[in-house]
Amino acid sequence: MQIFKKTTNIDFLKFKWLALGLTIAIILAGVLNIIWGHGLKLGVDFGEGTLIRVMFKEPVSISSIRQLLDDVGLGNSVIQEAGRSGREFQIRTVETRTTGQPTEEIENHQVLANKVITSLQSTKDKQQASQGLIDLNNIDNRSLTALLTEISPEQGEQLAGRMMKYRNEQGIIVDWSELQKEPISLPEEVLGKLQTKAFLGQMTVLSKETVGPQAGKELRKKATQAVTWAIIAMLVYIAFRFKGVEYGASAIFTLAQDVLICLSIYTFTNREINLPIIAAFLTIVGYSINDTIVIFDRIRELKKTRRKEPLQNIMNLSLNINLTRTIITSGAVFIAVLALFLFGGKVINDFAFIMLVGIIEGVYSTVFMSCPVVLFWTQLFKTQKKR
């Protein structure tokens, strides 16, 4: 099978100014958006604060959650829907800026987090809890085991295990009748006794992450340091293998462009930057560098056999010969990431989204930007040397 019957003959380098313009425009838009628009949303991994994921029995609207938080003075928290059911939400409390010690600050975050959680609990739940009833949707494994062994000494432990597993899979237990069905199969009399001691709360906390200011600062510093060294190492290796600083410089330029363009587009989607997203950026950069090196490799090869031909022609030829490969490789990876995007769930979704953007952008940067940069560089430095 063949995409193109014959090797194409497109003058890619003709578009270099257009491409440069487009790149600058997108990056500029992103910068403007960061400064005046949505801003750059750093996740709890990099900033400080608390991220809480909760799940409700019934679908709830974001505005009603905001109303509840507003009542306790936390209306400015960031609330996002997670998942598709309308029952899962992610709440990010806003930074507390106190002048106190770091320890106090992390405790402040935790106080805030607890405030958020209590404010989301329904009045009925709170009443039942104050009567000494236990919330089965927020109970921990140990306490549940203790509770059930008290009711049924022989079966308690097993039942508790099955119930925990069920809740972990479902997120929340909506109705008592679920407990009687498979896989828990709670006996009638145990259920009856359990109902006198416990209730099914309207909401459950799925996860809670708190990062103190000190740790946040260090994570930022370490991540920057790691990426900087990785980039420098790549530059040195490429310059060495392709016998020219211009290739290393071009690879790094393309890389910077990849990151900036993807970041720009990402800021417009109102998603958060966390560690998995950093990994996604590294992956995008990895693919793009891979593409670029394949092209450079062909240029290196062709330069040996066609010494007379101008560099620009060799570049065009290399790009054209490799066009099929570029399209197929990116296509294959695109298919893979599309699967992650569609079926991967909330946690992977952000990650897959930026990857999809990055794959398309990576092709663009390889085809339209990597070679022109080498050309610019050579024209800028090499001609001066010759004189």
Partner 1 sequence: MKKNLKWKIGLTLVVIGLCIFLIYPPKDKIKLGLDLKGGTHLLMQVITEDAVNVETDQQIARFEDVFKKNNIAYTRSAKEKPGKFYFEGTRADQEEKIRDLIDQYTRDWDYYFTGDRINFKLKQAAEQFLREQAVAQTLETIRNRVDQFGVAEPVIQKQGSDRIVVELPGIDDPERVKNLIKVTAVLEFKLVKAGPAPDEQTLLQEVGGQIPEEAEIVKGDARRGLQGYYLVNKVASITGKDLRSVRRGTDEWNNPAVSFTLTPDGARRFEQVTGQNVGKQLAIILDGKIQSAPVINSRISDSGIIQGRFTPQEADDLVVILKAGALPAGIKYLEERTVGPSLGTDSIRQGLISGLVAIFGVMVFMIFYYQLSGINAVIALLLNTLLTFGALGYFKATLTLPGIAGIILSIGMAVDANILIFERIKEELAMGKNIASSISTGFSRAFTAIFDSNLTTIISGVFLFQFGTGPIKGYAVTLICGLVANLFTAVFVSRLIFDLAVPTNAKKLSI
CB 41, CB 273: distance < 8 Å: yes
Q: 314-327 b/e with 16+ CB inside 10 Å = b?
A: bbbbbbbebbeebe
Task: Closer to partner 1 by CB, 30 or 171: give it.
Answer: 171
Task: Closer to partner 1 by CB, 31 or 205: give it.
Answer: 205
CB 202, CB 123: distance < 8 Å: no
- What's the closest the beta carbon of residue 121 comes to partner 1, in angstroms? 16
- What's the closest the beta carbon of residue 209 comes to partner 1, in angstroms? 4
Task: Closer to partner 1 by CB, 41 or 167: give it.
Answer: 167
Token readout for 99 is: 């002048």
Asked if the bond preceding 183 is cis, omega within 30° of 0, the reply is: yes
CB 351, CB 284: distance < 8 Å: no
CA 290, 291, 296, 299 dihedral sign is positive
Task: Closer to partner 1 by CB, 304 or 385: give it.
Answer: 304
C-alpha 36: how far from chain center: 23
- What's the closest the beta carbon of residue 382 comes to partner 1, in angstroms? 23
Task: Closer to partner 1 by CB, 26 or 263: give it.
Answer: 263
- What's the closest the beta carbon of residue 277 comes to partner 1, in angstroms? 9
Bridge partner residues of 49 (DSSP)? 211
Give the residue from 179, 161, 349 showing the smallest Cα distance to 271.
Answer: 349
Pairing verdict, β 134-135 and 198-199: parallel
Task: Closer to partner 1 by CB, 26 or 46: give it.
Answer: 46
